[in-house]
Structure 1
Amino acid sequence: MKIKDISVLAGVIGIVLMMILPIPTWLLDVLLIINISLALLILLVAMNTKEALQFSIFPAMLLVTTLFRLALNVSTTKLILGKGAAGEVVATFGSWIAQGQIAVGFIVFLILVVVQFIVITKGSERVAEVSARFTLDAMPGKQMSIDADLNAGLINEQQARERRQKIEREADFYGAMDGASKFVKGDAIASIIILLINLIGGFIIGIAIHGMPFNQALSTYSILTIGDGLVSQIPALLISTAAGLIVTRASSDGSMADDITGQLFTYPKLLYIVAVTIALLGFFTPIHIITTLPLAILLLIAARRMQKNMDRKQIEVEQMEEEQQIEEVRSPESVINLLQVDPIEFEFGYGLIPLADTQQGGDLLDRIIMIRRQCALELGIVVPVIRIRDNIQLKPNEYVIKIKGNVVGRGELLLNHYLAMSPGYEDESVSGIETLEPSFGLPALWIDEATKERAEVAGYTVVDPPSVVATHLTEIIKKHAHELLGRQETRALVDNLKENYPVLVDELIPSILSIGDVQKVLAKLLREKVSIRDMVSIFETLADYGTYTKDPDVLTEYVRQALSRQITQQFSESGETLKVITVGPTLEKKIAESVQQSDQGSYLALDPASTQTVFQKLTEQVNRMIQLGHQPIILTSPTIRMYLRQVVERTMQDIPVLSYSELEPNVEIQSVGVVNL
């Protein structure tokens, strides 16, 4: 054990022994002075802490100091009753306060006890109790806030862990303060009892044992009792005040003195009003002007100096900001910062500011958090932090969505309206402003609150503006997810997988494939809206076939076949017939014959005339399937799937192209159209 640990243990044991063993008067004087010094130190520390947790040992200190005071009370009581004397400190305090008037001394002592017991201790106890209750009630909300910040990418895991620990420490601290305040309350009661014991017991012992006259016994033991009470109650009052300051102090960036001067004297104009009021008291009341006028003048001078200091600081701040802006423009780093491109940006006109302003009821930030969670569940990627900013160059009700600095989506909103999309037929009773739904380009109407209920009854799909933005942003992210997944993001996914499957990751990377190779495969899956959440199956497949080929297109086909159950469930519910457009043998043969090999891999070299014919045939079948109310799905053989996809994605990027190997055997396939050359 260290010396300081032994010292603390010895101190606590010594406090207990003080209640049993006799103590010489000179040592008692030293211990009383130490008690006063310790109480003053605790008060000063409490005044200079910025938040309660910086003095988290205070509840334990409160118990130790209370026990120390009670041990001193027992020691002084033994000396008072046994010898009729308790050292120079007790005698000095008693004589100094009494000043020959014992009744005045008792009244002063009782006032101190009342102030400590009823005012400070009672208030501190109540504040500690309420703080403990509110802290416990607020813990779930604070935990949810931390989780939201973590999911939004505003903080990392280490910062979230530190914040959670701080919340737990706050709950423990205020709970301990609630219990520790009972010690101070009991100490005040014990002081009154000890006062009566010293006074009555000493008076009886002085007359009966020491043979003192009545007046001498009364004077001697009264002064000693008053001195003993004051010596114990003054430190107790200081520590009670420190307890009140601790539990009532809110978190701050400065000490108590900084907060008082910075907050109480921040308004010089109010000091002028106070100065005039004090001066009027001297002129129009019996209070003499000599008493009020100097204070009023002092307040006026202080207000004037404060106003000058505030004006000077304001000028300095403005000059500093101007210099900083000039320096930023001149520095080479300012140009480098301009090269930074955010992965996703959402910009809006000033008319849409209420969407993002929480004080005006906007919940866009909460919706973005849910979008990131939804994309993680559906696509298996962590969407980067979405940068939200207003742009005065846009129309007031316009917004744009950017991916890596390029606009990929835009729209306009009417905040006091609702977007209504027809169920396939028009209802003349539903009227509004014609527009296009931004996510899918469907015809829609902006309707007001009065028309909303009528539109819902007519079968219209009615959504509010925040939902329109959230849906549009979600679809944009899904469509461009492959662009958001770079090597750095892939490394983060690999590291997350390695925590639970280290053998699998170590076998694949880097001995078989590099991070770049894995990223290419994952991006190709996301490009066709195939979730990469099942990273274990993806890595198992890449580890099996990565030794035979490094071609990302071929590896992607192997992975898609390994994810057949997932792909089947994505396009067909259990027991449902899957309606598809099949590729005829002539087209399959034509595509297979047009495949060319090169050093970089295979590619499709289809002549323009054949390509145009394929486009025309596919468009006819797709439109026919849409008219029948089915989702268009093209089904082909595994050998040409990726080449046919290259043809289809040029004009029909959202049409899925599947192969027979990617569907489970239990799914019934019904061909509603065939594409042939």
Structure 2
Amino acid sequence: MKNRNVAQMAVPAGVVAIVLLLVVPLPYPLLDLLIAVNITASLVILLTSMYVKRPLDFSVFPSLILVFTLFRLGLNVASTRLVLRDGFAGHVIEAFGHFVVGGSLVIGLVIFLILVVIQFVVITNGAGRVAEVGARFTLDAMPGKQMAIDADLNSGLIDEETARRRRADISAEADFYGAMDGGSKFVKGDAIAGIVITAINLLGGFVIGMAQMGMSASESVQKFSVLSVGDGLVTQIPALLLSVSTGIVVTRATAEGDMGSVAAKQLGQSRQALQIAGVAAIGLALLPSMPKLPFVLVGASLLVASQRIKASEARTAAAAAAEAVVPAAAPASDTPEQLIEQMRVHTLEVLLAPDLVDLVGTGPEQDLLARVRGLRRKVALELGIVVPPVRTRDSVDLPRATYVVKIAGVEVGRGQAPQGQVLALGDDLAALPGTAVTEPVFGLPGKWVPAEMRHAAELHGATVVDRVSVLITHLGSLVTQNAARLLGREDVRQLTEALKRVNPSVVEELVPGVLTLGEVQRVLQGLLAEEVPIRDLARIYEALSLRAKVGTDVEGLVESARVALGPALTAAHAQDGVLRVLTLEPLLEQHLLEQLRPGEAGTQLLLDPQRMDSLLSQLRHAAGRAEAEGRSVVLVCAPAIRPALHRLVELGLPRLPVLSYAEVTGAGMTIETVGVVSSGHAIAA
């Protein structure tokens, strides 16, 4: 706690002290100390920038650039005051001047100008350009990164806390590169200021030396040139270190380790490159008049390094071969058990074309199997069912880049995920190369573009999705649509036993005395068929216990469970606490009640084709108008006709939910009528 308080006070006090440097004269011993602090701190910043694993780990760097730029300018002003007033600005500046100038003033000035050119023209300009481009690219890539996080969250690969942390990292990264873009301008301005201040010291000192100190022209030039060059060096060297630090930070493109470790690993990844470079160095030594020893030493070192890499590769290959050696598989026998296993129909399968096998195990965020595990968890938390294990295998019968999803051996969907490409979703994709497709879940227009065109697609306003996310999103949609088929009798037994452990009275009252496990399964399947979650199993069983005393018809049991889940159903379709509904005109609703007939699959509406088409057309028009306004709507009707009306609406509007008055009235939220469907036309509210 005490150290933190010191740090909180030290930084503001330091900034105030730096400002005072601009106006308060300093004695030269204190100036020597501050110059030493400046040089050492700049070296620390340079080394820190080399050892950070990612730029965000050094997020305070842009602020440090501003503070140390102001610090150097304050030292410049203080040293200039001493140079022009006393002709002496401390031992550090004098030592730097004599060391560089030596016996030749011309050589000293040339070396100083070369350092200025290196910093200003090469490093500072380059770092500033990289920071500018990095800031622009980071800001442009933010929407795509946010979409990727949302895709991972929706597929269940990450939880809400991880998604929140990643979004914060993206925002911090954008802020960092934006600040670095501005910070690089401070470094560039500091370099210009250093040149101007050195010129002022040189010319002003020459005049003061002759006019006020009584020196000759040669003595004045000699004395003040040493001081001016020394003053320029003690500020330009820290500025050069800070410029290099800026360039290192903004050009980091990896988070695998510090710069030294990553550079050594990547420079040594090609044995052939080291061998060719070594032979070339030795070849240069054979040229006439070329010194032999330096090139021979360098070439021999590269050849020795290449041999060490070769030995390391051999050991790695031997270890891999040893792990790959497995006992020879016993010849397949035709025992009944093995034949039965081969005959077994898997509940859920994903078949991949041979060129899509790379989707399995390509990385922590792209591994298909890991994403499938996340999807199973997501579906369990949303729908309340345990999705059976997904069997993933390749099939040579599939076309290239094709995957197929099967449920109980029957294909329910297929799509494409071309290797080396990403899916760009948007309306304006004509300028991008690739194959135009329709996204399989939402029917959005898209185009498969090369992976290296990802950034270009984002610049065109497209949402870019990787191959695994496309497959997982499609699989999740198919699982949700076919959840009723995936819920087996054994799954219902496991869910019932799990509920019995926490709420035994509800289960004992319902199963098996009132309803059999098969009847409960049919009710749960009926709920899942309409994408109603069955997570609140206790409330569902309580409603079934009451309704089963009246009758055990499946449709009635499903409706009683839906009424019990009414608040949850309504909340799923509400926006900001408001449920926007379409209703039926009383005359139309009465007509539908009169046309209601019982059937083996439940109640049915016996409408003539013309009236049926008219009803669906009106609903489609009303729902489309609300959707165009960005509003989600549901159709509300009398409880008696809801199941039959849902079956009818599902034929033409599968995404329009149909709720009953009983489900809506108990939700306790604001209801807004956006349209009334009459026997003749849809009336806007």
Tell which deviates more after alignment, 41-50 or 551-560. 551-560
Asked if the contact 2:548–2:557 (Cα under 8 Å) also holds between the matched residues in 1, the reply is: yes
Residues 354 and 394, structure 2, Cα contact 8 Å, conserved in 1:
no
CA-CA distance at 1:235 after TM superposition: 0.5
Larger radius of gyration: 1
Counterpart Cα distance in 2 of 1:479 and 1:382: 14
Tell me: CA distance 1:43–1:559, structure 2 relative to 1, closer, same or farther (3 Å). same
1:381-409 alpha-carbon deviations (Å, 9 max, x no partner): 27767866643699768998688xxx464
The answer for the alignment partner of 1:246 in structure 2 is 249
Match of 1:391, SS? strand
Mapped partners of 1:167, 1:491: distance in 2: 44
Q: 1:485 to 1:8 in 2, by over 3 A?
A: farther
Ranges in structure 1 where 5+ consecutive residues have no aligned partner: 324-342, 417-464, 495-508, 584-617, 632-637, 643-659, 669-677
CA–CA distance in structure 2, aligned partners of residues 348 and 7 of structure 1: 63
Deviation at 1:582, TM superposition (A): 3.2
Shift of 1:37: 0.4
Asked if 1:27 is matched to 2:25, the reply is no
- Specify which of 54, 62, 67 is matched with residue 65 of structure 2: 62
Mapped partners of 1:10, 1:219: distance in 2: 39
Instruction: Look up the equivalent residue of 2:73 and give its one-letter code.
Output: L
Q: Is the 8 A contact 1:146 1:160 kept in 2?
A: yes
Deviation digits for residues 1-44 of structure 1 (CA, Å, limit 9, x no counterpart)? 81211111211111111111111111111111110100000000
1-structure distance, mates of 2:31, 2:404: 79
Determine what percentage of the aligned residue pairs are the same residue.
36
Quickly say closer, same or farther: Cα 1:293–1:220, change in 2 above 3 A: same
| SS, match of residue 349 in structure 2 | strand
Question: By how many angstroms is 1:158 displaced?
Answer: 0.3
Deviation at 1:283, TM superposition (A): 2.2
**Cα offset, 1:478, TM superposition:** 3.9
What is the correspondence of 1:206-221 to structure 2 with a 5 Å cutoff? 206-221=209-224
Aligned partner of 1:497 in structure 2 is none
**Which residue of the other structure, out of 101, 104, 122, is the alignment partner of 2:104?**
101
CA shift for structure 1 position 117:
1.0
Encode CA deviations 1:28-82: one digit per residue, 9 max, x unaligned. Answer: 1111111010000000000011100000000000000101101111111011001
What amino acid is the match of 1:477?
A: A
Distance in 2 (CA, whole Å) between partners of 1:537 and 1:514 is 13
Tell me which amino acid in the other structure corresponds to 1:149: D
Identify which range, 383-392 or 153-162, moves more after superposition. Answer: 383-392
Which shifted more, 558-567 or 162-171? Answer: 558-567
Q: TM-score, normalised on structure 2?
A: 0.61
Equivalent in 475, 485, 493 of residue 479 of structure 1: 485
Deviations 1:158-186 (A, max 9, x none): 00000000000000000000111111111
Code of the aligned partner of 2:483: I
Query: Which residue in the other structure is 2:91 paired with?
Result: 88
2: distance between equivalents of 1:167 and 1:116? 31
Superposition pairs of residues 446-457 of structure 1, within 5 angstroms: none
For residues 319 and 364 of structure 1, the distance between their equivalents in structure 2, rounded to whole angstroms, comes to 25
* Cα distance in 2 for residues equivalent to 1:215 and 1:661: 103
Match of 1:11 in 2: 14
In structure 2, the partner of 1:595 is: none
TM-score (norm 1): 0.62
CA RMSD of aligned residues (A): 5.6
Distance apart, 1:114 and its partner CA: 1.2
Residue 130 (structure 2) aligns with: 127
Between the aligned partners of 2:113 and 2:546, the Cα distance in structure 1 is 91
Q: Are 1:582 and 2:563 counterparts?
A: no
Which SS does the other structure have where 1:281 is aligned?
helix
1:179 and 2:157 equivalent?
A: no
1:49 paired to 2:55: no
Contact 1:25 1:86 in 2 (8 A): yes
Is the Cα contact below 8 Å between 1:513 and 1:550 reproduced in 2? no
Secondary structure, in 3 states, of the residue corresponding to 1:346? strand
Residue type at the aligned position of 1:69: R
Q: Distance in 1 between matches of 2:237 and 2:264?
A: 27
The alpha-carbon deviation at position 129 of structure 1 amounts to 0.9
Q: 1:220-235 alignment to 2 at 5 Å?
A: 220-235=223-238
Q: What's 1:455 paired with?
A: none
Distance 2:293 2:54 in 1: 43
Q: Find the aligned partners of 1:410 and 1:7 in 2 and give their Cα distance.
A: 69
Counterpart-to-counterpart distance in 1, 2:223 and 2:183:
36
Aligned to 1:558: 560
Distance 1:248 1:173 in 2: 13
Contact 2:384–2:534 (CA<8 Å) still a contact in 1?
Answer: no
Question: Aligned ranges for residues 436-451 of structure 1 at < 5 Å?
Answer: none
CA deviation map 1:406-436 (0-9, x unaligned): x4645898999xxxxxxxxxxxxxxxxxxxx
CA pair 89-401 structure 1, distance change in 2 beyond 3 A: same
Which residue pairs with 1:381 in the alignment?
383
Deviation at 1:297, TM superposition (A): 1.7
Q: How many Å apart are 1:526 and its aligned residue?
A: 3.6
CA contact (8 A) 1:53 1:173 kept: yes
Aligned residues: 510
Task: Note if 1:144 corresponds to 2:147.
Answer: yes
The worse-fitting range, judged by mean Cα deviation, of 160-169 and 379-388 is 379-388
> Relative to 1, partners in 2 of residues 1:280 and 1:85: Cα closer, same or farther, differing over 3 Å?
same
In structure 1, the partner of 2:290 is 287
What one-letter code is carried by the residue in structure 2 that aligns with 1:39?
S
Do structure 1's residue 527 and structure 2's residue 521 form an aligned pair? no
Q: What amino acid maps onto 2:311 in structure 1?
A: K
Q: Which moved further from structure 2: 47-56 or 2-11?
A: 2-11
- 2:201 equivalent to 1:198: yes
**Paired residue for 1:112?**
115
8 Å contact kept, 2:206–2:224: yes
1:552 to partner: Cα distance: 12
| SS at 2:257 equivalent | coil
1:74-93, CA deviations, whole angstroms, 9 ceiling, x for partnerless residues? 11101100100011110110
Deviations 1:228-276 (A, max 9, x none): 0000000100010000000000132111111111001111221111111
Q: What's the CA shift for 1:351?
A: 4.7
The answer on whether the counterparts of 1:349 and 1:390 sit within 8 Å (CA) in structure 2 is yes
For residues 38 and 509 of structure 2, the distance between their equivalents in structure 1, rounded to whole angstroms, comes to 69
Q: Distance in 2 between matches of 1:488 and 1:81?
A: 90
After superposition, the Cα gap between the structure-2 partners of 1:58 and 1:226, relative to the gap in structure 1 and judged at 3 Å, is: same
Aligned partners of 1:284 and 1:514: how far apart in 2?
A: 93
Change (3 A) 1:414 1:95: closer
Residue of structure 1 equivalent to 2:161: 158
Indicate the SS of the match to 1:528: helix
Q: Evaluate the alpha carbon distance shift between residue 523 and residue 216 of structure 1 in structure 2; reply closer, same or farther with a 3 A threshold.
A: farther
Letter in 2 for 1:45: T
Q: Judge conservation of contact 1:80–1:86 (CA < 8 Å) in 2.
A: yes
Deviations 1:291-320 (A, max 9, x none): 422222222122112222332344456657
Return the alpha-carbon distance in structure 2 between the equivalents of residues 176 and 354 of structure 1: 43
Displacement of 1:103 after TM fit? 1.2
- The aligned residue for residue 655 of structure 1 is none
Q: 1:274 aligns with which of 272, 277, 285?
A: 277
Q: Is the 8 A contact 2:406 2:413 kept in 1?
A: no
Q: What amino acid is the match of 2:270? A: Y
State the alpha-carbon separation in 2 of the partners of residues 132 and 545 from structure 1: 60
Aligned equivalents of 1:23, 1:298: Cα separation in 2: 52
Aligned runs of 1:397-476 on 2, under 5 Å? Answer: 407=408, 409=410, 476=482
Q: How do 1:522-671 residues align onto structure 2 when only pairs under 5 Å count?
A: 525-529=523-527, 531=530, 533=532, 558-560=560-562, 577=592, 581-582=597-598
What CA distance in whole angstroms lies between the structure 2 residues aligned with 1:15 and 1:110? 27
Looking at structure 1, the residues matched to 185 and 493 of structure 2 have their Cα atoms a distance apart, in angstroms, of 60
Write the distance in 2 (CA, Å) between the matches of 1:355 and 1:551: 56
Paired residue type of 1:205: I
CA offset digits 1:188-220 (Å, max 9, x no partner): 111111011101111111111111122211111
- What is the SS of the residue equivalent to 1:348? strand
